[in-house]
Chains A and B, each alone.
Chain A
Amino acid sequence: MFLAAIFLILAVVLTPKAATNFPFFLQIVIYGIADGAIFALIALGYTMVYGIIELINFAHGDIFTLGAFMSMPLISAFGLSEGQSSGVVVWLLLLVITVIVMVINGGVNVLIERVAYRPLRHAPRLAPLITAVGVSFILEGIMYVWRGASNVHYPDLLPDTRIPLIGSASLGVKDIIVIVTAIVLVVLLTIFIGGTRLGKAMRATAQDREAAQLMGIDINRTISATFFIGAVLAGAGGVIFGLYFNSVRFDLGFEAGLFAFTAAVFGGIGNLQGAALGGLFIGLVQAFATANFLPGGAAVSDIWVFMILIIVLVFRPTGLLGMQVPEK
């Protein structure tokens, strides 16, 4: 009912824009989906961590940036540079780099959990929130010391080829890569959470930690695994962000993290498909606002995102796909 209302309003606002210049509208939708795919990858980490230990992990956005930053020296180490012909070798090397970044990123996040969150598991609930902010500062500080305060150019390795669609609209190879990567990772994650033993342990721990422990589940290992997987996805998000936008900055993850967290809440926190959907939705809303489809134009695109967030939470507090969970 409520969802129908939201989509109806959006449809009423957007239909005239789509009718007047459909190719342009389609182009904006493509950009929105590509942006949203990256938000979705970050949002998954937020939603998993929140689902299992009810912590808003403010450092998660910076884990995403760290992924982008770590891939840059790897790219030069593997001998990749701009302007090369993009053959199969380049694709394979990029895949290898992404996997390495994902694993290192996961390790870093497990270490962070071990040092900054695990000692505080019985502390007042706000204590780990503050250490999360602290870790966020530390990660941003490390990247600041490493590459300075200004924008850093990220090597443009993907082909700029675009496939023409209707009229002036076109679908870039980069767009396809971003979207496909996100879809593949979300599907793999869903299979993992739904089908494996560890995934089952994660779901059990998220539902009731004490009961799960009584059933013989190693809580610490499960929580570490959750942090690992969250960072793996964020790391992949960081690499494809770099390849897509070709510019990164040390405090990039701050705002991206805020939006991704919004996406996680929007989709129903703790719900994986919800986080992915929320990411897409936020990417689209931002793209529409930036393209002047929504009142106020680009200057207020963020205001739209947060307004919709508040409205959704007030009328449907469990998010788009979230289920009613009793308060612990």
Chain B
Amino acid sequence: MNRRNGRAALTTDTAMRWASGWFQSRNRTIYTLLIIGALLYPSLMDIVTGGEGNHWIGTAAFAGVFVLLAIGLNTVVGFAGLLDLGYAAFFAIGAYTYGMFASGQLLASPLHHEFHIPFWVMLLVGVFVAACFGIILGAPTLRLRGDYLAIVTLGFGEIVPRLVQYLGAGSPIGNWTGGVNGIAAIDPPKLPIILTGPWFGLGTPFGVVKNFDFFNPLAYPLDFYWLMAILIVVCIVLATNLQNSRIGRAWMAVREDEVAAAASGVNTVAIKLTAFAIGASFAGFAGAFYGAQLSLVSSDNFEFIVSVTILIMVVLGGMGNIPGVIVGALLIYTTQYVVLTNLPDWTTSLATAVGLTGLNQAHGDWVGLHDEVQRLNYLIFGVILVAVMVLRPQGLFPSRVREQELEKGTEEQAVFDLRAEET
């Protein structure tokens, strides 16, 4: 009211009203909390661990890779409704593209020359290469009905890690990927050339600027953390704009009813291919970053289980809703790679703290608390998945449209409600 009358005075009352309006949208609340969390996280971790927060900041940057992947897969699965079970393959393609052209690897290949192309260029090349593979795979298969795409992508996801494993030392066409060992010692990102010109590095000719080791992943995880944060923001903006664009509306039309969409003039094959290629390019982007941060790529990091994990993040977070899948990605990453990985150590120290050290030793069938808890990892994760999905089948933060569909149901579902009969 105040604003309409031209009185822009920011009283407590208007601020409150504005704030309540802002937080009425759940997505805005999530974004606000995520931004505040991301800004505070590094300092908080340093305080909690007493200045030793680097490990946790690095972990968060890795979690960021999965956030990127979840945003990308959401474009394919959430927006366009295409089930992709081999998403890790595109992730691998991005990571290996960067790894091969930013390390000494290709010296061993028939090219006999090593490449060190800058990270920033390779980030875009990774995107391009992954998108190309997406188009090559998608073009023949997207004409098929929905589920066959899932199976073709599943096959592709199985082929890629095995192929990179095979194309190592001793393969008939030479050592391109380092085989089972993967590619190590990949270049970290460097500052762009305008900053690191001939005046860079004291002691060298023309050097007037001090040489500092920016973007060394081990010494400066914080650099990666902020780089990751910036990339995620860029991707969120991109994905949100795509969702609200003409293409985004076409994706949703295809998802809801392909025949109706085609009848309304949507070129369904082209629009599905766009979704598939854009999804793949997000994975390529994330892959290049991942290779740079880890400084190592190995086929083990791109197995089927990774594809499934990303799919879980998307479905559990709430398909089609970008803040939802981000939260899903962070939660699943934390559960799987932080809580479940560290649980054995935590329980061991807890047992020591409360004086039950006897539990930590192995005797008889008991293999020690550490190993016993480790054995439970699979079970715990499975129970969490089933419980969350049964309790909230629409995901934690679904998009509004989907939520309403589920709550009210379509007419058809109301007539044949099997659950109603069961009770």
Binding site for B on A (CB under 8 A): 54, 56, 58, 115-116, 119-124, 126-131, 133-142, 144-145, 148-149, 209-210, 213, 219-220, 258, 261-262, 265, 269, 296, 299-300, 302-303, 306-307, 309-310, 313-314, 317, 327
Contact = CB atoms under 8 A, between A and B. Distances in A.
A122 B419 contact: yes
B104 to A, nearest CB: 24
Nearest to A301: B162
B314 to A, nearest CB: 8
A302 B162 CA distance: 8
B254 interface: no
A128 B340 CA distance: 23
Judged by DSSP, the binding face of A is helix
29 contacts: A116-B386, A119-B419, A121-B418, A121-B419, A123-B394, A124-B402, A126-B77, A126-B83, A127-B393, A129-B311, A130-B311, A131-B389, A133-B312, A134-B382, A137-B381, A140-B382, A141-B375, A141-B379, A145-B376, A148-B375, A261-B151, A269-B147, A296-B166, A307-B159, A313-B141, A313-B148, A313-B151, A313-B155, A317-B144
Q: What are the 4 tightest A-B residue pairs by CB atom distance, in nearest-first order?
A: A141-B379, A137-B382, A134-B385, A123-B393
B140 interface: yes
B156 interface: yes
Contacts of A313: 141, 144, 148, 151-152, 155
A151 to B, nearest CB: 16
Interface string B29-48: 00000000000000000000
Residue of A119, A220, A261, A306 with most partner-chain B CB within 10 A: A306
Given A133-B312, A138-B383, A116 B390 contact: yes
Given A134-B382, A313-B141, A306 B155 contact: yes
Contacts of A327: 145-146
B378 interface: yes
B13 interface: no
Q: How large is the interface on B (under 10, 10 to 19, 20 to 34, 35 or more residues)?
A: 35 or more
Given A120-B389, A300-B166, A310-B156, A130 B413 contact: no
B343 interface: no
Contacts of A148: 375
Interface string B159-189: 1001101100000100000000000000000
Given A120-B390, A121-B419, A317 B311 contact: no
A306 B386 CA distance: 29
A187 to B, nearest CB: 28
Contacts of B154: 258, 261
A263 to B, nearest CB: 12
Contacts of B409: 122
B373 to A, nearest CB: 10
Contacts of B159: 303, 306-307, 310
